[in-house]
Amino acid sequence: MNLLRTSLIRDLLTDVFLNLFRKRMRALLTMTGVIIGSFLVVLIFSLSNGLSVFLDQQIRAVWDENMIKVRLEKGGAPEKMAKGMFGGLGEPPQEVTEENKEEIPGAFEFRHIPHESIQKLKNIDGVQEVQPEIWVMPRSMQVVGDDRQFDAIVRPWIMAGPDMLAYGQDFSTSAARECIVSEAYLVALGYSNPTQLLGQTLKIRIQEDAYIAMAGGGQMDLKFLDKLRDVAYLFQNPPEDPELTMISAFIMLRDLANSSEIKALTTEPGAAKVFEAKVVGISKKGLLTNMIYLPPDLIAEMGRVFLRNPDMYTKGKDGKFGIEGLVRVSDPKEIPRIKREIKKLGMKSTTLEDVVGFIHGLFGALSAILTVFVMIAGVVAFFSIVNTLFMAVSERKREIGVLQAIGATRGYVAAMFAAEAGAIGLMGGLIGYLLGTVLCIVGNIYAAQGLPYIPGGNWGNILGVSDLFVTPWWVLPLMILATAFVGAFAGVLPAKRAAQLDPAEALRYE
Amino acid sequence: MAAIEAEELTRIFQVGGEEVRALDGLTVSLERGSLAAVVGPSGSGKSTLMALLGGLDTPSSGSVSVYDQKLNGMAPVDLAAYRRSTVGFVFQDFFLLSHLTAIENVEVPLKLAQVSRSERRDRANELIELVGLGHRGEHRPQQLSGGERQRVAIARALANRPKLLLADEPTGNLDEKTGMAITEILLNLNKDRDITVLLVTHNPELAKQTEIQFHLGGGKLQKTICS
Ligand SMILES: Nc1ncnc2c1ncn2[C@@H]1O[C@H](COP(=O)(O)OP(=O)(O)O)[C@@H](O)[C@H]1O
Ligand SMILES: [Mg+2]
């Protein structure tokens, strides 16, 4: 019908805004609910998006998309114990079986990934290389020719991947004595230019410390305890023949003494060993500021020193791979298939997507909770618009009558009020969006400058990587649609009432 | 040819369970181009008649037809179109939209008729000029005197070139001198533009200037005087 004509709609909308302007204070007050709601929407989604982007970047700093972390399904997943420790709450005790043994803290056994499995991993189509996962916590790092020592964490470069390289280049070979250090060291060292650090040699000190190997547990093979038990049993229950006892004891003690765990305990008292590595690259800064990335051979060597276990990371005659492996694939698109094949090998895998997905899920849940509050604001806004519009209709009865007398259809009158309600919603939404955006900008400026009241923390160095508030592109169109809809929907009843007004009645005067 | 043909018009209002017969079987007709007055005591049904003729209200029984358009049974949308194009209303209380200027008030019916913006301006200016308010077009109603407001209201009523002008006590709120001027305008409209004018008045002087006077009483036509 004729309401669909564009000229009429344009004129109607102009009138609607003029009408709102007539009662601007009331319109503004009515909008409060919408303003608060949309303000919250902007803040919540920008913050959760910003944090999510930020964490995403942080995770990518230590987890390349081409990388899969693998562990044995059995003997490689101590986190399952959480269920054993807390899952029993309110449930009858569970029977210990071969299947659920992992969940029982007392029954858990660490196992190194066997070499055959590593070989099978390497044989999977699309797998480029497999390295052991190595955690090394050096005593310090130091630039040769500089007295100062700085703290550091050493990680395999395979974890971060080539896209984290900010300056310089990748390692020349996997055996190279080279390193890639975090950009944050430029700040620590007082360098203004990456070229000042590139090409320098670093001294990385690793403390030999056997007790960490013991406490770390994960690096200790349980066969070692079996050997110890055998010796103890022999002496507790000696055979009749003393000669046999002697020979058995000798063999057992020799095996025990040669086990890497005992060797670790009996060699020289722990000393710091210095490794030298040339800085060939600088990685993008991130939340973990003290990162030094290394090629596989160098970090494995450090790891053996760190654990004081010469057999670790597939070295020595009893070479152990470690409980975790890092698998690098050539194409991330192949990951789902490769994951399935890894599972067939009795191993579980974790990819960047798993970790990021987990975090996104966390923020999704947070957003969902906050969205409930937004919806409450929406409901309040809805009723406040309904109320205002009913008021406007009864105030403007005569005006409605006049309009009808000079030819306005009921549809036009209804559309006028519905549009007015929609406009209240829309304007409220836009004002809220603007306020939210302003707060986001201010928040980002503050975040970039650092938060002075967090002791010792200058977040600017980290958050400079990405903004704290990043408004997703879809927030504005969503807001426009949602607020206009809430408004127009709130306007339905008042508009109906306006349209049903009897013009003759409205224009009576006595 | 008839401008208005109303037959057996009855309009009953329910007031607190009681029936009020505002119009009670009234029959009138009026030739095109004529100038007529409706007179009668207060409560005799004059305004009710105007509302029925103007398509603002529907009769309880009886029929109305204006310029061959039968109003009975007309769809609300068509009735709105009828009010927009065939009739123009002038009220005692002017009923201008207070937030709009004189020109803008005249433009409202043109807007509703979807006349283009530029043509709207031109026509509104022309009409404001016609009612002798050329210099006050940008003023708002509260800045205008009663007589001036009624002139704006007349200009507005004329915006869509109606064939029938219904004026319900157009001078009722004006002093005698101003009222005369307004009357003058209405008479001229009838004469120069060939618009059928039906006006309600209490003023015998004004009534005398019309060709026909319908005397109402108790919702019925008491007598018709042609002068
Ligand atoms: N909407 C209405 N509801 C109830 N009674 C009404 C209504 N409109 C008019 N009336 C009654 O109808 C009668 C005629 O009213 P009206 O046409 O306004 O008279 P006039 O204009 O001649 O003074 C009066 O008694 C009035 O009270
Ligand atoms: Mg009256």
The ligand with the least distance to the CA atom of A401 is: 1
For an interface test with A, give the residue of B42, B99, B165, B169 to mutate (most A CBs within 10 A). Answer: B99
Which ligand 1 atom is at minimum distance from the Cα of B51?
17
Cα-based angle A65, A70, A73 (whole degrees, multiple of 5): 145
Contact indicator for A68, A501 with CB cutoff of 8 Å? no
Q: In this structure, what DSSP letter does residue A150 have?
A: B
Ligand 1 touching residue B18 (CB < 6 A): no
Contact indicator for A363, A52 with CB cutoff of 8 Å? yes
Q: How far is A488 from chain B (nearest CA, A)?
A: 22
The helix (run of H) or strand (run of E) holding residue A118 is helix A115-123
Q: Between β-strands B220-226 and B212-217, what pairing exists: parallel, antiparallel or unpaired? A: antiparallel
Q: For residues A285 and B207, which has the higher predicted lDDT (pLDDT)?
A: B207
What is the domain partition of chain A in residue ranges? 8-58+359-508, 66-75+109-349
Give the domains, in start order, of chain B with CATH numbers.
2-95+163-226 (3.40.50.300)
Ligand 1 touching residue B88 (CB < 6 A): no
Residue type, A247: I
Confidence at residue A94, expressed as pLDDT on a 0 to 100 scale = 72
What pLDDT, in 10s, does the model give residues A321-357? Answer: 888 999 999 998 999 999 999 999 989 899 988 888 8
CA A208, A209, A215, A217 dihedral sign is: positive
Q: In this structure, what DSSP letter does residue A285 have?
A: P
Q: For residues A180 and A79, which has the higher predicted lDDT (pLDDT)?
A: A180
The answer, for A256 touching chain B at a CB cutoff of 8 Å, is: no
Confidence at residue A192, expressed as pLDDT on a 0 to 100 scale = 85
| Predicted confidence band of residue A454 (pLDDT cuts 50, 70, 90) | very low
Q: Give this prediction's pTM.
A: 0.69
How remote is the CA of residue B47 from the centroid of ligand 2, in Å? 4
Ligand 1 touching residue B47 (CB < 6 A): yes
Q: Is the pLDDT of residue A90 over 80?
A: no
SS (H, E, C) chain B: CEEEEEEEEEEEEEECCEEEEEEEEEEEEEECCCEEEEECCCCCCHHHHHHHHCCCCCCCEEEEEECCEECCCCCHHHHHHHHHHCEEEECCCCCCCCCCCHHHHHHHHHHHCCCCHHHHHHHHHHHHHHCCCHHHCCCCHHHCCHHHHHHHHHHHHHCCCCCEEEEECCCCCCCHHHHHHHHHHHHHHHHHHCCEEEEECCCHHHHHCCCEEEEEECCEEEEEEEC
Complex ipTM? 0.95
Confidence at residue B36, expressed as pLDDT on a 0 to 100 scale = 96
Inter-chain contact B57–A502, Cβ cutoff 8 Å?
Answer: yes
Q: Tens-of-pLDDT digits for all 227 residues of chain B?
A: 899 999 999 999 998 889 999 999 999 999 999 999 999 999 999 999 999 999 999 999 999 999 999 999 999 999 999 999 999 999 999 999 998 999 999 999 999 999 998 999 999 999 999 999 989 999 999 999 999 999 999 999 999 999 999 999 999 889 989 999 999 999 999 999 889 999 999 888 888 889 999 999 999 999 999 87
Confidence at residue A270, expressed as pLDDT on a 0 to 100 scale = 61
Q: For residues A314 and B216, which has the higher predicted lDDT (pLDDT)?
A: B216
